[in-house]
Amino acid sequence: MIKLIRGKIESLVNLKIEPNKTKVFRFEEVNEKFTGFEIDEKTKISNHNKKLEYLGFSFDGERVLIKNSGFSKFYRSMKSTFKKSTSLAIHSKNPDKSLFKSRLYKRFTYKGAKRKLIYRPSKIDRTVYERTNKYYWGNYLSYIYKANDSMKSINGGEYIKRQSRRFWKQFNDLMKFHESRLK
């Protein structure tokens, strides 16, 4: 059956399917629970510990969630940005040696997750700000909130949003740690 499907895809769409990049999953109801598992094409043995992963999401048969690797990348980015901000604050000519907190909050918390119109100082009078036609599109959390809204009907709740809750604590822990380094 799999060979037939692959043959049809290759002939109709002219798309070459790479066997080492393709996985076969089967979803069925087991003990009144919809469950998915990966099937090894060669041995026909199923692996119940694997989730279907596609375009940054994972599906276990019940819920669509964001892959853990996406969250890990976001956390590593947050951690390195704090480190860089601390280094800039230590070595800057600014006498108070403080972090640029507003930028950190905007980039890594829910406070920067909304789409906002950008204002720039006027060319005539620098104290007056003018509207631009550009928008600040948000941050990774805005992507998470959009994904949560899209998947809410499938998941039956706000499970994707729940995945991101730990970031607020991690952000505050990093803020405390790096502020203590500046003192």
Query: Mind giving me the DSSP string for 117-179?
Result: EEEEE-SS-TTSEEEEEEEE---HHHHHHHHHHHHHHHHTS-HHHHHTTHHHHHHHHHHHHHH
Q: How many percent of the chain have pLDDT more than 70? A: 95
- Average pLDDT of the chain, as a whole number: 84
Predicted confidence at residue 41, as pLDDT, reads: 67
- pTM of the predicted model, to two decimals? 0.70
Rounded average pLDDT over 49-67: 83
Residue 116 has what DSSP assignment? E
- Write down how long the chain is: 183
Give residue-wise pLDDT tens across range 152-172. 998 889 999 998 888 889 999
Comparing 46 with 65, the larger pLDDT belongs to 65
CA dihedral 74, 75, 77, 79 (to 10 degrees): 160
Predicted confidence at residue 96, as pLDDT, reads: 75
Asked if pLDDT for residue 131 goes beyond 80, the answer is yes
Q: How many percent of the chain have pLDDT more than 90? A: 19
Predicted confidence at residue 36, as pLDDT, reads: 74
CB 51 within 8 A of CB 66: no
- Give the count of alpha carbons within 13 A of 108, CB side only: 27
Predicted confidence at residue 113, as pLDDT, reads: 73
CB 58 within 8 A of CB 52: yes
Residue 35 has what DSSP assignment? E
* Degrees to nearest 5, angle at CA 109 with 76 and 117: 120
Q: Output phi, psi for 8, to 5 deg.
A: -65, -45
CB 36 within 8 A of CB 26: yes
Predicted confidence at residue 39, as pLDDT, reads: 74
